[in-house]
Amino acid sequence: MGADRRRYGLGRVMRAPALLATVAVLLAGCASIPDSGDVEPVKASPPGESQVRVYAVPPREKAGPDEIVDGFLEAMTSDDPDFAMARKYLTKEASRDWKPGESTTVLRAAPDPAPVKEPPAGAGDTGRTYPLYGDRIADVDSAHAYQPVGPTPYNGTIHLVQEKTGADTKEWRIDSLPPGLVLGESDFQRNYRSMNKYYFASGENWLVADPVYIRQRIDPTTRMDPVTQAVKVLLDGPTHWLKPVVDSPFPAGTALQKGTRSLEFDDRNALKVPLNEKASKAGRSQCRKMAAQLLFTLRDLTSTPVSQVELLADGSSLCVLSGDQAEEFAPDRTTGRPDNPYFVDSAGRLSTLHIGADESVDPVRVVGPFGKDGPKLGSVAVARDEKHAAGVSEDAKTLHVASILSDGELGDPLVESKGARPQDRLSAPSWDGHGDLWIADRDPGQPRLLRFEEGTGAPRPVTIDGLGGARIEALRVSADGVRIAMLLSEDGRTTLRIGRVERDGSGPESEVSVRGLQPVAPQMESVTAVSWAGPSRLVVVGKESGGVEQVRYIQTDGSTSAAGVLPGLSPVTAIAAADDDRQPLVADTQEAGIVGLPMGANWQTMVESGSSPVYPG
């Protein structure tokens, strides 16, 4: 039975079963086996796919209204083609109008039908109304974009009537229901998976991740396998939120060749993608960028690297791009060598933490003013090319930029805050993929977000739509330069939001603004630290209402999973992650000093004293 709806057979008297099933132990999960229906060939499940399957059955003859409601809610959690069995619980008109692919409402637990509302005596309505209750935690739109909420109370309604099914027979059927699908969180996670599709940052030559959700197995509506679904959602274009800051080189109208429902990798893990005639308009260089979008999009779906993608238009080859060739469009804009984290040592100097060495290596101070005697540093950010760094003084009053590869004198500060207290002055800085430097001045008298073109010159104020009375406490700009994660404080609470970085024009005269602010962790009562941890993932330190502090991964669309919670740690004041997830997390703790979390291990002390751990960016 559906993972979220087992209580209907355990917590209350079970009426007719909504599913005919035989339960068997399969690895760590279970499976339900139908006793009827067509036989379809299936492919092996991708690694890590849930082994729980739900198979819907039609309503029992003369089933009561309670059975119809329970059976329909259960059938919504299945992979039934076009939800054919779920539609059998609906009237003919309701089945025609119901569009399960238009949206999905995600509740904390399965929707709970309240006791039936009997029609008042003498009322013309002889049907039955079932209010649905639950805690709504997210919505997924027709473009597969996930949006977290609240949680907020959910109120939906299912209405049933008796529909004539024969000369002298009537059966209870649903004639009014909520739009789309309504699923509990565990059923949603069982049926859907998160993936990134990729588009080019506007005017740039690097890719930006756009997270969406697709079906784990065959999509009931399109009958496409996961790989084909991924290609289709890429060709459909970016999500509404990201669209203003990205471009797609696919010619307008490009789609999969008609009738394509399955795409298979060959024994070299290469893939041929058949497109319609619109794609033939693409030139050679344009086609290479199209193939790069596909290569990066498909990486989330395969356990081994995709060796190459070949694009076809009406059967003719357009171009071929290998996985190695696609790296020139990589979203992380790395230097090509493993990143080592940096931190401010106990003397206020910028130092490097060496990881991956066979033996413990003492931290080494950088070359240049930040590694020498001088004003102590409070927070730092190292440019992505690791040639320069930005340092905020220990009192958070001034910002300097200096080389970390050569000696020199520390010049005049780029900006000076007039805030009365350190916590009312400059935040920690952050570098974006364009080489620009960002910082927030938290002065209550003049709060502002500032950007320095290529880390030099006069500060350029950045406007933020939707900020209201909130104040920026901390910020981190993504490697692609089109998204910014900010900790915002208002009314005694600090929350995490992500904004879209929009650029009007180019070069020194470009106007930059932050728009589309949206919550990333609305379930957290407070957030104390954040860092980018890949193309569409953040590592966040915070706690839920009444809970304890957690370190966990959260997707930029706000979705989470139980696997994202990391081992416990003493109070954390700062967190840092590399774009490469093979690099360890690094955190500043009140009790254990600077600690690291290598893959497959627990937190380990790296240095006993220090602060402000950062990776380049």
What confidence tens digit (pLDDT) does each residue in 487-517 have? 999 998 999 999 999 998 766 677 999 999 9
For range 333-359, the mean pLDDT: 78
Which pLDDT band holds residue 122 (cuts at 50, 70, 90)?
low
Q: Is the pLDDT of residue 466 over 50?
A: yes
How far apart (Å, rounded) are the C-alpha atoms in residues 380 and 370? 10
Q: Residue 474 carries which side chain, given as an amino acid letter?
A: A
At residue 560, the pLDDT reads 87
Which pLDDT band holds residue 362 (cuts at 50, 70, 90)?
confident
Nearest to 353 by CA among 573, 616, 613, 581: 613
Report CA Rg, the chain: 27
Question: What is the dihedral sign for C-alpha 50, 238, 505, 329?
Answer: positive
Question: β-strand 181-184 against 104-107: which pairing, if any?
Answer: parallel
Residue 486, beta-bridge partner list: 475, 497
Percent residues over pLDDT 90 in the chain: 73
At residue 48, the pLDDT reads 40
- Tokens, residue 255: 């789609």
- Tokens, residue 569: 């740690």
At residue 315, the pLDDT reads 87
For range 12-30, the mean pLDDT: 33
For range 339-349, the mean pLDDT: 93
At residue 532, the pLDDT reads 96
Nearest to 481 by CA among 336, 617, 612: 617
For range 87-112, the mean pLDDT: 96
- Cα angle 605-611-616, degrees, rounded to a multiple of 5: 95
Residue with tokens 């203003």: 244
Question: What is the dihedral sign for C-alpha 275, 280, 285, 286?
Answer: negative
Burial grade of 321 (CB within 10 A; 0-12, 13-18, 19 or more): buried
Which pLDDT band holds residue 341 (cuts at 50, 70, 90)?
very high
- Tokens, residue 237: 């274009």
At residue 601, the pLDDT reads 86
At residue 360, the pLDDT reads 59
Give the SS3 label for residue 83: helix
Those residues whose C-beta lies under 8 Å from the C-beta of residue 279, and which sit 6 or more positions away, are 250, 251, 254, 290, 311, 313, 318
Nearest to 174 by CA among 157, 191, 155: 157
Domains of the chain are 7-120+144-182 (no CATH), 192-329 (no CATH), 342-614 (2.120.10.30)
Give the CB-side neighbour count of residue 203, counting CA atoms within 13 A.
13
Question: β-strand 112-113 against 524-532: which pairing, if any?
Answer: unpaired
Ranges 10-19, 103-112, 308-317: which has the least confidence: 10-19
Give the SS3 label for residue 228: helix
At residue 564, the pLDDT reads 86
Q: Is the pLDDT of residue 210 over 50?
A: yes
Residue 474, beta-bridge partner list: 487
Instruction: Tell me the C-alpha to C-alpha distance, in Å, between residue 46 and each of 131, 221, 225, 519, 546.
Output: 38, 20, 11, 31, 37
Which H, E and C letters describe 367-416, residue by residue? CCHHHCCCCCEEEEEECCCCCEEEEEECCCCEEEEEECCCCCCCCCCCEE
Ranges 34-43, 535-544, 608-617: which has the least confidence: 34-43
Mark 389-427 as b/e (b = at least 16 C-beta within 10 Å). bbbbbbebbbbbbbbbeeeeeeeebbbebebeebebbbb
Q: Is the pLDDT of residue 239 over 50?
A: yes
- Tokens, residue 568: 């416990």
Number of residues that this document lists for the chain: 617
Neighbours of 207 (CB within 10 A): 26
Which pLDDT band holds residue 33 (cuts at 50, 70, 90)?
very low
Q: Is the pLDDT of residue 15 over 70?
A: no
Q: 52-70, pLDDT tens digit by residue?
A: 678 889 999 999 999 999 9
Give the CB-side neighbour count of residue 400, counting CA atoms within 13 A.
21
Residue 46, H or E segment? none
At residue 42, the pLDDT reads 39
How far apart (Å, rounded) are the C-alpha atoms in residues 354 and 357? 7
Percent residues over pLDDT 70 in the chain: 88
Specify whether the CB–CB gap between 239 and 145 falls below 8 A.
yes
Specify whether the CB–CB gap between 542 and 496 falls below 8 A.
yes
For range 304-316, the mean pLDDT: 93
Residue with tokens 């058949």: 274
At residue 78, the pLDDT reads 94
Which pLDDT band holds residue 114 (cuts at 50, 70, 90)?
confident
For range 474-498, the mean pLDDT: 95
Q: Is the pLDDT of residue 13 over 80?
A: no
- Tokens, residue 294: 């596909």
For range 221-228, the mean pLDDT: 96
Mark 556-580 as b/e (b = at least 16 C-beta within 10 Å). bbbbbeeebebeebeebebbbbbbe
Ranges 37-51, 94-108, 200-214, 248-262: which has the least confidence: 37-51
Residue 552, beta-bridge partner list: 540, 565
pTM of the predicted model, to two decimals? 0.88
Nearest to 340 by CA among 352, 331, 330: 352
Nearest to 85 by CA among 32, 42, 134, 34: 34
Instruction: Tell me the C-alpha to C-alpha distance, in Å, between residue 239 and each of 210, 235, 246, 248.
Output: 7, 11, 10, 12
More confident residue, 1 or 504: 504
Residue 24, beta-bridge partner list: 31
Q: 390-449, pLDDT tens digit by residue?
A: 999 999 999 999 999 999 889 999 999 999 999 999 999 999 988 999 999 999 999 999
- Tokens, residue 425: 């002055």
